[in-house]
Amino acid sequence: WTVSGHEGNLRGVQRVVLVLSGKGGVGKSTITTELALALQHAGKKVGILDVDLCGPSIPRMLGVSQQEVHQCDSGWVPVYADPQQRLALMSIGFLLDDPDEAVVWRGPKKTALIGQFVRDVAWGELDVLLVDTPPGTSDEHLAVLESLRKHRVDGAVLVTTPQAVSTGDVRREITFCKKTGVKILGIVENMSGFVCPHCSECSSVFSRGGGEELAKLTGSVFLGSVPLDPLLSASIEEGQDFLKAFPDSATYSSLRAIAESVLNRLQD
């Protein structure tokens, strides 16, 4: 694309938070989406920058995948997921003609594109900008960091599942943050137990508590756990706001508590 945004596009953004995961499929994009909604429900103005080149799923999760992005003098105008314009989204998925296109790009092309993309969005005023990164720690992460650093990166939220904790993927993520000087806001354990769709009871399918243990071991903060909840996956599939639809669920309470902890950590 041809837009060249202004370096000042992030000036009105109070806090920038990266969402990282050691490997794919642990629910990083789901947690990013729900965290953004929970922050919005808590009265914050939130943005999501979806730089997951090979699987930009957030437009679908927020039910806005059919929307088109427009340009203004200072860059791309984000898409708003709500009529009050308190949840803004910019996804690399909006700019790719073919979603499979990016898979075959070489590293330097991806890096250049991400750098430009990060600078090119006219966010306006935001309390928090969440950046959904690809899984792992790649050149793309360094490109994101480099482009954001001119502004500031306030921290990272690490998403893991109980099984992934034992594979060492999260530890690599922790090392990445330490090496690049990004503050770890904390660890979220996703798919921690299964909520029965019939009786709402939460049972442990895999071992639980690994995220908390890992947080202790690495001196990180444990932000909370989110169960595997069929109502959450259905909401995500349909692009519905889970928090609005199920305010009495245990998953709702977990997500709101995690958002609260993230806000507290951002004030530390």
Ligand X SMILES: Nc1ncnc2c1ncn2[C@@H]1O[C@H](COP(=O)(O)OP(=O)(O)OP(=O)(O)O)[C@@H](O)[C@H]1O
What is the DSSP pairing of strand 75-77 with strand 70-72? antiparallel
| DSSP assignments along 201-235, one per residue | -EE-SS---HHHHHHHHHTPPEEEEEEE-HHHHHH
Cβ neighbours for 12, distance < 8 A, ≥ 6 positions apart: 123, 124, 125, 126
Between 7 and 237, CB nearer to ligand X? 237
Q: Does the annotation list 26 as a binding residue?
A: yes
Between 51 and 122, CB nearer to ligand X? 51
Distance of alpha carbon 171 from alpha carbon 149, whole angstroms:
23
Give the interface segment with ligand X, choosing from 49-57, 120-128, 211-219, 256-264 (CB under 6 A).
49-57
CB of 235 to ligand SF4, least distance (A): 20
Question: Do 81 and 62 touch, CB atoms closer than 8 A?
Answer: yes
* Phi-psi category of residue 66: left, alpha or beta, with phi > 0 → left and psi -120 to 50 → alpha: alpha
CB of 203 to ligand SF4, least distance (A): 6
Binders of ligand X among residues 211 to 230 (CB under 6 A) are: 226, 228-229
47 beta partners:
88, 129
Binders of ligand X among residues 131 to 170 (CB under 6 A) are: 135
Per partner kind, with CB cut-offs from 5 to 8 A, the member of ligand SF4, ligand X, none near residue 24 is: ligand X
Q: Does the annotation list 28 as a binding residue?
A: yes
Helix and strand numbers, DSSP H then E, in the chain: 10, 11
Shortest CA distance to 92 belongs to which of 44, 48, 158, 141? 48
Binders of ligand SF4 among residues 186 to 205 (CB under 6 A) are: 196, 198-199, 201
Q: Does the annotation list 23 as a binding residue?
A: yes
Q: Is 29 among the residues that bind ligand X (CB under 6 A)? A: yes
| DSSP assignments along 7-55, one per residue | GGGGTTEEEEEEEEESSTTSSHHHHHHHHHHHHHHTT--EEEEE--TT-
Between 93 and 193, CB nearer to ligand SF4? 193
* CB-based closest residue to ligand X: 24
Write the binding mask 50 to 89 for ligand X: x where contact by CB under 6 A, - elsewhere. Answer: --x--x-x--------------------------------
Per partner kind, with CB cut-offs from 5 to 8 A, the member of ligand SF4, ligand X, none near residue 217 is: none
Look at the chain and count its residues: 268
Q: Is 30 among the residues that bind ligand X (CB under 6 A)? A: yes
Indicate the SS3 state at residue 185.
Answer: strand
Between 47 and 227, CB nearer to ligand SF4? 227
Burial class (CB in 10 A: 0-12, 13-18, 19+), 72: exposed
Write the binding mask 242 to 261 for ligand SF4: x where contact by CB under 6 A, - elsewhere. Answer: --------------------
Per partner kind, with CB cut-offs from 5 to 8 A, the member of ligand X, ligand SF4, none near residue 52 is: ligand X
Among 53, 144, 188, 191, binds ligand X (CB under 6 A): 191
Q: Which residues bind ligand SF4 (CB under 6 A)?
A: 196, 198-199, 201
Binding residue positions for ATP: 22-29
